[in-house]
Amino acid sequence: MKYLLLLGIICISMNSFAQEKIYLWPDGAPMAKSKEDADQPYMMAYNPATKNAQKSAVVICPGGGYGHLADDHEGKQVAKWYNDRGVTAYVLYYRLGFHKSGYTHPVPLMDAERALRTVRANAGKWGLDPNKVGIMGFSAGGHLASSLGTHFTDGDKSSKDPVEKVSSRPNYMVLGYPVINMDDSFTHRGSMFNLLGDTPNKAEQTLMSNEKQVTNLTPPTFLVHTTEDSAVPVENSLYFYLALKKAGVPAEMHIYEKGAHGLGMVNTKNEVFNSWADRLADWLKVHQVID
């Protein structure tokens, strides 16, 4: 294993495609409780083969109810899917709000902002287009991704940190069966409590109900969900789509009749649902993320 301490990057070889571990704050994350990995957010970078590499990138937020990270079927496999299409993928290991960790809002959003900014600020060095950096999330990771798409900031031009100078706005969003709402009506209660605490106040619930925060600056968005989802009701995607449409934001949504929650990108138990990956590839072509 080769350590590049200056960049906070660890190069690893695994599963036949290269990975890099990139700490978001190499000198220590703000509000961190220790130096352990659970307290120091990082990304695993998955780089496509040189022969088909494009200049697009995506930051992937696995789900897990803000209590754990489902980084296999909602992380590594997703990164491989993007790599096969020439897109560089970064799986985000953000800090969690489960009682053991205790990182409630705004810490996960801080981590997502920093991840997007890190990719954009290093785009030239990493052979990427800073205007083709997207965010993708599943379930609670979909809430985090949609939070970035509705709560992004332009960057601090006066900062001495070059990463903090650039915008955290994603150029596109992909949301898989996302948690969107946080105000009790059709939320996922575990995600709500892990993110906002045991007694969330109404103002925070409204602020983090992202269907209420959409503007015409929210990035183009692709949504997928199932009607049968009993963990995260399909209304989360429906209301977000309607908000996007009202704001004039380009959006595409696919609702499948059958399928439980948490199916991921490719699920052998639901071949019909798997077809959404082809629909996503078409959408990414429309938005010039892939050729």
Q: Over the stretch 226-268, which tens digit does the pLDDT of each residue have?
A: 999 999 999 999 999 999 999 999 999 999 999 889 888 877 6
- Is the Cα dihedral 169, 208, 164, 128 positive or negative? negative
Q: How many residues comprise the chain?
A: 291
CATH (residue range 2-286): 3.40.50.1820
Which amino acid is residue 77, in one-letter code? Q
Model confidence over 20-58: pLDDT tens digits?
999 999 999 999 999 988 899 999 999 998 877 899 999
CB 206 within 8 A of CB 212: yes
In this structure, what token pair is assigned to residue 81? 């899917």
Q: Domain coordinates of the chain in residue numbers?
A: 2-286
Residue 16 has pLDDT above 80, yes or no: no
Three-state DSSP at 9 gives strand
Residue 12 has pLDDT above 70, yes or no: no
User: pTM (2 decimals)?
Assistant: 0.92
